Amino acid sequence: MSRVQPGPLLAPASVTFTALPRAALSVWRWKLTIAVLPVALVVAGVFGLLVPLARPSVPAWPGLAFAGALLAGAAFRWWRLKAAWAISGYTLAEDELLYRGGLFRRYLSALPYGRIQTVEVGSGPLQRRFGLATVKVAAGTFHQLVVHDVPTAEAEEIRDALTRLATERQVSL
């Protein structure tokens, strides 16, 4: 199996990214399952079974085909989530917080420490089940960087480090 290799724009040579834990992949897959499976079951049940029973002139195959397409798309996404997880990571560089991710459209986000205004750590029920948290870093109203699914203790260390660095390097407004 080939490993996803980041391009030169997404992996500066002097920067080492911290990979997300394996539990993050599990959380992503659970979220996908929770989002798609009920929709596919409702579509198959309503448009594939109930509507054709109520109106025999309406065929069942379009509803069943749509539900099947939803499940096939979800299965493909489930499989490709591992590649997205492999490329995702963050680092506290010398002057900025860097986060990279993506699958088909890869990105590298940078937020200078001096622009940071707020740092929040939170976790939903699924993240708590796997011992993970999300770190939200904001620099004004429209500039935000989110590091999803890091271990809870590590998220709190990131928050403390970012708060300290933001205070030290604060840009005057």
Q: How many Å separate Cα 141 from the centre of its chain? A: 21
Structure tokens at 15: 């920067």
Q: How many helices (H) and strands (E) does the chain have?
A: 5, 7
Q: Where do we find the tokens 């992996």?
A: 11
Q: What is the mean pLDDT of the chain?
A: 88
Residue 98: pLDDT band with limits 50, 70, 90: very high
pLDDT at 2: 42
Q: What are phi and psi of 121, to 5 degrees?
A: -120, 130
Alpha-carbon distance of 41 to 23, in angstroms, equals 27
Contact partners, residue 136, CB within 8 Å, separation at least 6 = 118, 119, 120, 121, 122, 144, 145, 146
Q: How many residues does the chain have?
A: 173
| Cβ neighbours of 102 (radius 10 Å) | 14
At 34, list the tokens.
Answer: 């929770």
Q: What is the pLDDT of residues 15-70, one digit of tens each?
A: 889 999 999 999 999 999 999 999 999 999 898 888 888 888 989 888 899 999 99
Q: So what's the pLDDT on residue 1?
A: 43
pLDDT for residue 131 = 96
pLDDT, average across residues 131-135? 96
pLDDT score, position 130: 96
Provide the token pair at 107. 């990105």
* Over residues 107-121, mean pLDDT: 91
